[in-house]
Amino acid sequence: MLVIVAPGQGAQTPGFLEPWLEDPIFADRLTWLSAVSGLDLVHYGTKADAEAIRDTAVAQPLLVASGLLAALELFPHPADAFGKVGAVAGHSVGELTAAAGARAITAEQAMVLVRERGKAMATASAATPTSMTAVLGGDRDEVLAKLAAHGLTAANDNGPGQIVAAGTVEQLAAFADDAPAKARLVPLSVAGAFHTEHMAPAVDVLAKYARSVSTHDPRTPVISNRDGQVVHDGREVLKRIVAQVANPVRWDLCMETMLDLGVTGILEMPPAGTLTGIAKRAMKGVETFALKTPDQLDDARAFCDKHGSASLLDTSPTWRMLVSPAKGTFHQASALAEGASIAPDSTIGAVQSLRDETPVLAPHGGTVVEWLVEDGDLVSPGQPLIRLHPEGDN
């Protein structure tokens, strides 16, 4: 099974788009997305220095545009991707790349949202001097206890031995003087405490724009940063992307879900390397491919052919299928026989895992065509549970 992932802020490096822009089609598409974002992404991807592309308002649109356009290079006929990609996920702002790639939102909508996201987060960062520090190694429980003691947030949980602390500059300085045993602290070159309460004003801004975005249920399962769950409702994908600005990135749980899905290969969109590096350490036995330059495209396509298989969602229109958000035991809410009518936003059941119980909603309602699982069945993330006809039509 193939999973495509998109990196978050901090992955960008000066000039990383130089080789890509040798392709006139890529260059024209980047010019178009530059117009949508209101930024000269061609300049920022080629000539701008590290300080210029460190700016949150620049880095985020640059990353999303790069991932989306590289995906079009990898799959010149986008429909081909749906026959090979089992799931998608993005780290932090990379979730917008993933959402557009799965067709939950359009590329243009993603660029408008990331433009406003970047500006709003930059404004929020300017209100109070904040930053982030990577905590490498150490005992997990001790690291989390130290963060709590200093009022810091574990803003990124990237798997064993990789937690990113975020908070005020003063809190981080105190933490540095009281570091957990056997842990190495690496201050990050970022403009603020992303994915913490300090970003709450940015959530309010982004939510206003999101209300005008029309969504579609994704063609490929989207693995959410919030809790690693598979999200199958376009409205929920967008809602989570908005809220995630001020909430921690649980990439550790995303990787757990990938393993539950049976992933065999992970391909990272440019500027690649960060997420495949994490996967190499945390997901033993899973092959990785970091797509960095266009001369790798043939090898990347071969990698997709090797690991690719059609998503379960690709076999039927997604608006008539509800899937499991997580691994666990499915419990049906009530006896809904074939032909029964379900009102919009009704609960059809829940998935009970070792951590929690997650309700499964029918956002659009409809008529039950058939159950694909039985009460008490063990289910995996993204597994189809029930097939519906929309709006109660037979």
Asked if residue 220 and residue 342 are part of one domain, the reply reads no
Checking phi first, is residue 228 left (phi over 0); if not, alpha (psi -120 to 50) or beta?
A: left
214 classed as catalytic: no
Residue 329's closest CA among 374, 368, 371?
374
User: Do 168 and 279 have their domain in common?
Assistant: no
The whole-angstrom separation of Cα 334 and Cα 330 is 12
Digit-by-digit pLDDT tens for the chain (394 residues) are: 999 999 999 899 999 999 999 999 999 999 999 999 999 999 999 999 999 999 999 999 999 999 999 999 999 887 778 789 999 999 999 999 999 999 999 999 999 999 999 999 999 999 999 999 999 999 999 999 999 999 999 999 998 889 999 999 999 999 999 999 999 999 987 779 999 999 999 999 999 999 999 999 888 899 999 999 999 889 999 999 999 999 999 999 999 999 999 999 999 999 999 999 999 999 999 999 999 999 999 999 999 999 998 766 654 455 578 899 999 999 998 778 888 888 888 899 999 988 889 999 988 888 888 899 999 999 999 899 998 887 644 3
233 and 353 together in one domain: no
Is residue 150 part of the annotated active site? The answer reads no
Residues 286 and 336 in one domain: no
Statement to judge: residues 13 and 61 lie in one domain: yes
Would 109 be classed as within a structural domain? Answer: yes
For residues 83 and 207, membership in a common domain is answered with: yes
Instruction: List the domain range (segments joined by +) for residue 160.
Output: 125-187
Last residue in a domain, options 187, 213, 241: 187
Would you say residue 192 lies in a domain?
Answer: no
Residue 333 lies in a domain: yes
Choice among 91, 150, 195, 198 that is catalytic: 195
Token digits for 285?
């036995």
**One domain for residues 112 and 22:** yes
Residue of 92, 131, 311, 324 marked active site: 92
Residue-wise DSSP of 2-64 = EEEEE--TT---TTTTTTGGGSHHHHHHHHHHHHHHTS-HHHHHHT--HHHHHSHHHHHHHHH
Asked if residue 268 and residue 372 are part of one domain, the reply reads no
Separate counts of helices (H) and strands (E) for the chain = 14, 18
> CA torsion sign, 28 to 29 to 35 to 37?
negative
DSSP state of 293: S
CATH assignment at residue 168: 3.30.70.250
Report CA-CA distances (Å) from 367 to 233, 358, 375, 394. Answer: 17, 22, 19, 7
Q: Are residues 108 and 226 in the same domain?
A: yes
| Structural domains in the chain (count) | 3
pTM of the model: 0.87
Q: Bridge partners of 268?
A: 5, 290
From residue 184, give the alpha-carbon distance in Å to each of 139, 159, 160, 161, 195: 11, 15, 14, 10, 22
